[in-house]
Structure 1
Amino acid sequence: MFTGIIETLGKVKNIEKEGGNLHLYVSCNFTHELKIDQSVAHNGVCLTVVDIENDTYQVTAIEETLQKTNLGNLQKDDVVNLERGMQLGARLDGHIVQGHVDQTAVCKQIEQQDGSTIFSFTYDESLHNITIEKGSITVNGVSLTVVNSQKNEFSVAIIPYTLENTTFKYLKENDVVNLEFDVIGKYVKRLVEVNKS
């Protein structure tokens, strides 16, 4: 369980393919605090630490994860958003984030707007995910509030602090991002669908 409040940025030190899996070797400022079997969200994708050596730890993304996320696009020296699992009893500053990416989206527009930056995204509507105005969305692991919700597209407004302390500062138009839709919204949507049948 995560909150979508990014702890730090990590740097991809190496990538190895093994069959359908991808081993990522990541360095960050909290590596020395990690333990094997611990969960860390990478651009919003929950992965398990399987090895630690000096300031670098290893996680593995399986083929199913690679098909639904942007992790397969990562290259050596890329930067990722990182968050360790939520501590029981801590404040929930973002929203409930599972680290289970629903699908990817494409950044269609970036515009500066009087103190904030507006990022607009489109996503494949065939998976029937939805956003709502002022609802929660997780983009590359960052908990955000939806503005301008439309069918298969939405925007988010990023404050300067979030822009500077996440990978949003590197995001460009046409980049692919990971989306996790609000878990409560997903359950409500499913209940409505079941009651219709």
Structure 2
Amino acid sequence: MAELLNNPNLMAKARSELGKVVGKEKMVEESDISKLPYLQAVVKETFRLHPPVPFLVPRKTEMKSEILGYAVPKNAHVLVNVWAIGRDFTIWSNPNSFVPERFLECEIDVKGRDFRLIPFGAGRRICPGLLLGHRMVHLMLASLLHSFDWKLEDGLKPEDMDMTEKFGFTLRKAQPLQAVPIKP
């Protein structure tokens, strides 16, 4: 929601898609999500820029290895910095900007098959809540966008929003988002 409120034109685009696919009178249903490619792109872009956890659960190496010229000793604890991968200039063009369109006509997903976007991890130790979380994020965002118009609290303008993040076990906004729903 913060990225969409910070980019009102992108929010309008997502809401327009919802209006065309779902209609104005009907509630968003889980079966509608597969027909909302722009909304799906918004969620992927959000996970790229703001992964739920900045570092995946640590792994311990079973043997001495070399990765991209770096020696990794046996029993070393290895952390995967998902936040940095999402902002890597060698992988993403304009990596610090919120651009959902980069995921349209693109097969990259968050299910651990493409290491450019792994907010839930990958392999045998992928997050067990991936399917439920993925489904709920789409449905919740679609429902919020479809059911209400949104404005920032206290006349704040999108360009004045503080989008800095606070790092911890989870990643969150340093300044909590304060938005006001308005019934359309």
TM-score, normalised relative to structure 1:
0.22
TM-score, normalised relative to structure 2:
0.23
The structure carrying a bigger helix percent of its residues is: 2
